[in-house]
C-alpha cells in the first residue's frame, strides 16, 4: 500500500485492489482534483472552505463538492461498516470538539483495511476517545492524525497513544496555535521524534511495519 498526503486532511491510499482518498475537498485539491482519482472517497466532515460557485457532485448533505476527477468514486461520508471492491471500511462517529459537536459539529473516523494494513484516518477530530470508541475503531497499524485546530498537539499525542499504532502520519491543519506556537513541532516533541525527514510517500506492507510506534512526515503533493 502507498500512502500520500495532499494537504490539510487529504490522504490517498493506493492498494492492489483499490484507491481510497480521504477528505479530497475542492478547496484542498483544486476544482479538477489535479488528476486525483479514486475508487472510494471518504469525507470526515463538511468542507470548511468551499470554492465559490462550485459545481458538480456533492456529498449526501450537500455540504461538500467533490473534485470532478472523483465523480465516479464510491462516496462515504457517514458512520457504518462497508465493503467496496474487496476493501473493508469502518466509519466511526466522533466530533470536531470536546462538547459532542455542540461547537463544531460531527466528524467521522474512517478505518480502511487495504493490502492487509489497517489505516485510521481521524479527519479533524477534536477530542480523546472513550473506551467504547477505541473499541469501535479497533486495532490499527497506521493513524493519520490532525495537528492543530481544535485538537492540541499534546492531545493529539494522547490520542495516538490510545490507538497504539505502528505508524503515525501527522496532518498539519494549522501553522500556529492560539498562542502562536508551532503545533507540529510540539507534537513531534511529544512523540519523541527529532530527526524525521519529510518524504514524498510511504510504501507499506504488513511485514515492513516497525515494531515500535514511528512517526513519518510526508511532503504535500499537488501543492500550488
For residue 30 the three cell numbers come to: 483544486
What pLDDT was estimated at residue 191? 95
pLDDT digits (tens, 9 = 90+) for 112-127: 999 999 999 999 999 9
Q: What is the pTM of this model?
A: 0.95
HSE of 200 in the Cβ direction (CA atoms, 13 Å)?
A: 1
In the chain, where the domains are located: 2-215
Residue 30 or 72, more confident: 72
Q: How far apart are CA 19 and CA 15, in angstroms?
A: 6
CB 94 within 8 A of CB 129: yes
Fold (CATH) for 2-215: Metallo-beta-lactamase; Chain A (3.60.15)
Please state, in angstroms and rounded to a whole number, the distance separating the CA atoms of residues 7 and 221.
7
pLDDT value, residue 32: 61
Task: Give Cα 44 to chain centroid, integer Å.
Answer: 8
Confidence of residue 53 (pLDDT cuts 50, 70, 90): confident
Mean pLDDT of the chain: 92
Q: Which of 20-29, 48-57, 71-80 is least confident?
A: 48-57
Q: Measured over all CA atoms, what is the biggest interatomic distance in the chain, rounded to whole angstroms?
A: 48
Q: What is the pLDDT of residue 33?
A: 65
H or E segment and range at residue 192 = none
Per-residue pLDDT of 130-164, as tens digits, reads: 999 999 999 999 999 999 989 999 999 999 999 99
% of the chain surpassing 90 pLDDT: 75
pLDDT at 29: 81
Q: What is the pLDDT of residues 207-221, one digit of tens each?
A: 999 999 999 999 998
Q: What is the pLDDT of residue 92?
A: 98
Residue 221 CA to residue 206 CA, distance in Å, equals 24
pLDDT at 8: 93
Task: Please tell me the distance from the alpha carbon of residue 46 to that of residue 199, in angstroms, as a whole number.
Answer: 28
CA 154 to chain centre: 18
**Contact criterion met (CB below 8 Å) for 204 and 117:** yes
Quick: pLDDT tens for 174-210. 866 655 568 999 999 999 987 888 999 999 999 999 9
- Tell me what pLDDT residue 178 has: 56
Query: Could you give the count of Cα atoms lying within 13 Å of 177 in the half-sphere of its Cβ?
Result: 16
Are 95 and 125 a contacting pair, CB within 8 Å? yes
> Which tops the pLDDT comparison, 178 or 39?
39
Amino acid at each position: 500500500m502507498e500512502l500520500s498526503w495532499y494537504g490539510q486532511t487529504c490522504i490517498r491510499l493506493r492498494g492492489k485492489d483499490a484507491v481510497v482518498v480521504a477528505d479530497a475537498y475542492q478547496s484542498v485539491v483544486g476544482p479538477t482534483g489535479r488528476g486525483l482519482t479514486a475508487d472510494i472517497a471518504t469525507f470526515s466532515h463538511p468542507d470548511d472552505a468551499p470554492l465559490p460557485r462550485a459545481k458538480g457532485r456533492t456529498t449526501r448533505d450537500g455540504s461538500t463538492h467533490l473534485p470532478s476527477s472523483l465523480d465516479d468514486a464510491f462516496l462515504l461520508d457517514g458512520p457504518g461498516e462497508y465493503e467496496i471492491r474487496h476493501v473493508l471500511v469502518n466509519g466511526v462517529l466522533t466530533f470536531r470538539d470536546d462538547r459532542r459537536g455542540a461547537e463544531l459539529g460531527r466528524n467521522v473516523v474512517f478505518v480502511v483495511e487495504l493490502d492487509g494494513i489497517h489505516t485510521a484516518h481521524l479527519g479533524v477530530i477534536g477530542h480523546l476517545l472513550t473506551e467504547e470508541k477505541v473499541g469501535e475503531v479497533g486495532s490499527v497499524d497506521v493513524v493519520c492524525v490532525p495537528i492543530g485546530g481544535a485538537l492540541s498537539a499534546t492531545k493529539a499525542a494522547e490520542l495516538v497513544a490510545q490507538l497504539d499504532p505502528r505508524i503515525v502520519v501527522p496532518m498539519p491543519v494549522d501553522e500556529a496555535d492560539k498562542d502562536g506556537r508551532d503545533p507540529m513541532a510540539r507534537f513531534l516533541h511529544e512523540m519523541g521524534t527529532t530527526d524525521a525527514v519529510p518524504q514524498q510517500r510511504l510504501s507499506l506492507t504488513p511485514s515492513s511495519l516497525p515494531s515500535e510506534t514511528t512517526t513519518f512526515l510526508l511532503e504535500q503533493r499537488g501543492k500550488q
